Amino acid sequence: MANLINIGLSGLSSSQAALTTTSNNISNVATSGYSRQSTVNSAGALQSIGGAGYVGTGTTLAEVRRIYSSYLQNQVASSTALDSEASTLSTNAATLDSLLSDSSTGITSVLSDFFTSLQTAAASPSDTASRQLLVTAASTLSNRFNTISTQISSSNADVNSQLTSLSEQVNSLSKSIASLNQQIVSMSGGGTPNSLLDSRDEAVRQLNELVGVTVQQRDGQYDVYLGTGQALVSGTSSNTLTAQPSAGDPSSYSLTVNYASYSTDVTSVVSGGKIGGLLRYRSEVLQPAQNELGRLAMVVSDSINTQLGQGLDANGDFGSSLFTSINTDAAVSSRSVGGAKNSAGSGNLDVTITDSSALTAYNYAVKFTDANTYTVTRSDGTSMGSHTLDEDPAPSIDGFTLSLKGNALSAGDSFTVTPTRNGASQIKTTMTDVSKLAFAGPLAATSSSGNSGTGSVTQPTLTTELDVYDSAALAKAQGGIENGLPVKLVFGSASNGSQGYTVFNASGASIGTGTIVPNQTNTLNVSVPMLDDNGNAMLDADGNAMTATFQMNISGSPAANDSYTVAFNSNGTSDNRNATSVVNLQNTKTVGSASGGGVSMTGAYAKLVEDVGAKAAQASSDATATAAVLTSATTSRDSVAGVNLDEEAADLVKFQQYYTASSQIIKTAQEVFSTLLNAL
């Protein structure tokens, strides 16, 4: 009888465990990372019944088994990292794309409005109202550059803030995994701690939402690695991940894994998760867009200022700048950041723009091999050569030069040079007096009344570029040019298909000669000595006589002794030649044109919008694809390890019947025992 009762009791125990396990599955159906469990029974020991053989002694609960596939779980973790990265990149790229492409927030509309206002003002160069509208449009344009720059800087700051917050979450999960490792090892001697294993796998999955990691199992513990093998968790200990201003660029945070005795920068090797998405957004979308926008702002400012400097304003003076100089002291010093490990007390590098049309949207790494010699490497990997600080003139590198500011440098000192990053934030409209808009050409040509030939000339263009940013030099140049004019071109007789001419100054002295081909269009380049107020030649810093050069075309066939006078255009209030030249900048290839290619201002911004839009579209496509992959991986994992309520409900009924049947065995044993007692 005792054997029958024990068999029943073993059944009760086994069915009760099964009911408990099934109930636990049902209650955890919504628990993230939970793997369903099932009981595994084994037959009890055999009992001999003599020569007849053996009978069973019931059942034994062998194991509460966790239904789990490490392969499918790893697929979910890796898919989670990819999806989180793609989703983060897509969301941020779409926001920037909207900012740049929308007509109410982008540059296209206000740049077009500026040139429309310029065309209106050029059509009525003496109209004060149209001049004022132009300055207002210029202010709107510069303000829009500033606003977008502020938004981009805010986005960069937000990336830094998120990296800090996410790093703290990574540290919390890493610490949790290390703690779970310890608990699992300590409890494994008494069986498999299924819930702890689920918690650890879920922590790894959540960690992959933040940053892509790989897991290696060792002695029942998880070792968790970043990137190319930088350990976050090693057994029961964890290392911290911190976000902090990078050594080469404090405006962008870098990621560092901190070990017991040292730290290592892992920014370049981290991928996956929200952190990977943020880093990709910053390096692939945000910073290139910021540099491109800054380059465009600098080209707009510099090319328009420079052209205005070639003309005369309503007061008869050479023009003033409409926008700020691209080489203010603040701008020059802000384009270079010294490395965190530079020698103590070392100076910085001043970065001066020498040719805005040659600028690129790249950053540059400058490394000193000694106190005077440095190498420059562009961020696309192109070597820009080796140079020295004492070269005179300083070498122009993609439109900028470097010079030392402050104390001497040492071998190993390094700098990050960002020529265009701050361009959009630094552009300002500085002109307040609209009479200083230089719409007129500085020189005017007239034909002598006694000319008898068929020759005709175009109005001359001053080809000597004046420095609009140096008011003292500009005033000096104006005096020198005015004092050197007027000049008269007198033609001789045509002979053998050519015709000579002589250039005379105001005193009647010859200052140059040349020839033309009659009845063809000829381009003349004439140099005029610049004179001071006493009529003496002006000298440059090296003691050489200074000249101003103008260009004009002559066609037809001048008769002998026909002459043309070129004078300073002091009464050119209704002249719009220089205004027209400024208008033409709208379609001139001024951006990236030094190498022979280049695009216009409007073309450069259109390309920026196109590039960001393409990256945003690709990121959106990737996000859709990775979401599908994650859904598939999760479905596959859940098909094996997930809780199916229909199956669990059926098991609940089955094990309830099992429990009832086991109880009936005990009841039967009691009845048999009672029958035996009653028979005595």
Domain ranges of the chain: 2-67+643-679, 289-426, 443-568
Q: What is the mean pLDDT of the chain?
A: 92
Answer yes or no: is pLDDT of 550 > 90: yes
Confidence band for 673, pLDDT divided at 50, 70 and 90: confident
Q: If residue 532 lies in a helix (H) or strand (E), which one and from where to where?
A: none
- DSSP-derived 3-state class of residue 328: coil
Cβ atoms of residues 270 and 279 within 8 Å? yes
Q: Which residue has the tokens 């730290």?
A: 263
Dihedral (Cα; 205, 206, 211, 216), 10-degree rounding: -40
Cβ atoms of residues 4 and 56 within 8 Å? no
Laid out side by side, the sheet with 563-568 consists of: 443-447, 563-568, 487-495, 498-504, 510-516
pLDDT above 90 as % of the chain: 72
What mean pLDDT comes out for the span 646-651? 86
Residue ranges of the alpha helices (H) in 188-230? Answer: 194-210
Between the alpha carbon of residue 399 and those of residues 74, 294, 335, 379, 426, the distances in Å are: 51, 14, 13, 16, 18
Confidence band for 1, pLDDT divided at 50, 70 and 90: low
Q: Which residue has the tokens 């969301």?
A: 91
Cα–Cα distance for residue pair 336/348, rounded to 1 Å: 7
Cα–Cα distance for residue pair 302/321, rounded to 1 Å: 9
Q: Which residue has the tokens 């977008």?
A: 148
Tokens of 611: 């590039």
- DSSP-derived 3-state class of residue 285: helix
Answer yes or no: is pLDDT of 2 > 60: no
Closest residue by Cα to residue 538 from 462, 475, 463, 471: 475
What mean pLDDT comes out for the span 447-454? 93
Cβ atoms of residues 115 and 141 within 8 Å? no
Answer yes or no: is pLDDT of 521 > 90: yes
Closest residue by Cα to residue 198 from 66, 45, 339: 66
What mean pLDDT comes out for the span 521-528? 95
Answer yes or no: is pLDDT of 473 > 90: no
Please tell me the number of Cα atoms within 13 Å of 232 on its side-chain side: 35
Higher per-residue confidence, 92 vs 643: 92
Between the alpha carbon of residue 72 and those of residues 204, 578, 632, 637, the distances in Å are: 14, 71, 10, 5
Please tell me the predicted confidence (pLDDT) of residue 297: 97
Quickly count: other Cβ atoms within 10 Å of residue 81's Cβ: 28
Answer yes or no: is pLDDT of 594 > 80: no
Cα–Cα distance for residue pair 629/626, rounded to 1 Å: 5
What mean pLDDT comes out for the span 54-81? 87
What mean pLDDT comes out for the span 78-90? 96
Cα–Cα distance for residue pair 389/245, rounded to 1 Å: 29
Quickly count: other Cβ atoms within 10 Å of residue 496's Cβ: 5
Cα–Cα distance for residue pair 158/161, rounded to 1 Å: 5
Closest residue by Cα to residue 582 from 601, 563, 569: 601
Answer yes or no: is pLDDT of 662 > 60: yes
Cβ atoms of residues 406 and 347 within 8 Å? yes
Rg of the chain over CA atoms, in angstroms? Answer: 41
Task: Tell me the one-letter amino acid at 652.
Answer: L
Cβ atoms of residues 420 and 301 within 8 Å? no
pLDDT by residue (tens digit) across 338-379?
A: 988 888 888 999 999 999 999 999 999 999 999 999 999 999
3-state helix, strand, coil in the chain (%, to 5): 45, 25, 30
Q: Which residue has the tokens 């702890």?
A: 196
Residue 495 CB partners (closer than 8 Å, separation 6+): none
Cα–Cα distance for residue pair 200/235, rounded to 1 Å: 12
Extract the runs of DSSP E, i.e. beta strands, from 81-212: none
pLDDT by residue (tens digit) across 128-157?
A: 999 999 999 999 999 999 999 999 999 999
Quickly count: other Cβ atoms within 10 Å of residue 200's Cβ: 23
Confidence band for 491, pLDDT divided at 50, 70 and 90: very high
Q: If residue 591 lies in a helix (H) or strand (E), which one and from where to where?
A: none
- DSSP-derived 3-state class of residue 154: helix
Answer yes or no: is pLDDT of 17 > 70: yes
Cα–Cα distance for residue pair 319/311, rounded to 1 Å: 6
pLDDT by residue (tens digit) across 218-258?
A: 988 999 999 889 999 999 999 999 999 998 888 999 999 99
Backbone φ and ψ for 356, nearest 5 degrees, come out as -65, -25
What mean pLDDT comes out for the span 618-635? 95
Answer yes or no: is pLDDT of 50 > 80: no
Is the whole-model pTM more than 0.95?
A: no
β pairing state of 348-353 and 522-529: unpaired
Cα–Cα distance for residue pair 627/634, rounded to 1 Å: 10
Between the alpha carbon of residue 452 and those of residues 444, 449, 516, 523, 555, the distances in Å are: 21, 9, 17, 21, 14
Cα–Cα distance for residue pair 234/215, rounded to 1 Å: 10
Please tell me the number of Cα atoms within 13 Å of 310 on its side-chain side: 21
- DSSP-derived 3-state class of residue 252: coil
Cα–Cα distance for residue pair 413/344, rounded to 1 Å: 10
Q: If residue 633 lies in a helix (H) or strand (E), which one and from where to where?
A: helix 601-641
Bridge partners for 216 per DSSP: 223
What mean pLDDT comes out for the span 493-510? 93
Closest residue by Cα to residue 637 from 76, 24, 32: 76
Q: What angle do CA 487, 488, 490 make, to 5 degrees?
A: 155
Task: Tell me the one-letter amino acid at 224.
Answer: V
Cβ atoms of residues 302 and 427 within 8 Å? no
Cβ atoms of residues 30 and 2 within 8 Å? no
Phi-psi bin for 210: left (phi > 0), alpha (psi -120 to 50), beta?
Answer: alpha
Exposure pattern of 283-298 as b/e (b: 16+ CB <10 Å)?
Answer: eebbbbbbbbbbbbbb
Q: If residue 504 lies in a helix (H) or strand (E), which one and from where to where?
A: strand 498-504
Answer yes or no: is pLDDT of 660 > 70: yes
Answer yes or no: is pLDDT of 67 > 60: yes
Tokens of 58: 């019931």
What mean pLDDT comes out for the span 295-317? 94
Please tell me the predicted confidence (pLDDT) of residue 619: 96
pLDDT by residue (tens digit) across 454-466?
A: 999 999 999 998 8
CA terminus-to-terminus distance, the chain = 16
Tokens of 116: 């429309």
Residue 56 CB partners (closer than 8 Å, separation 6+): 7, 43, 44, 46, 47
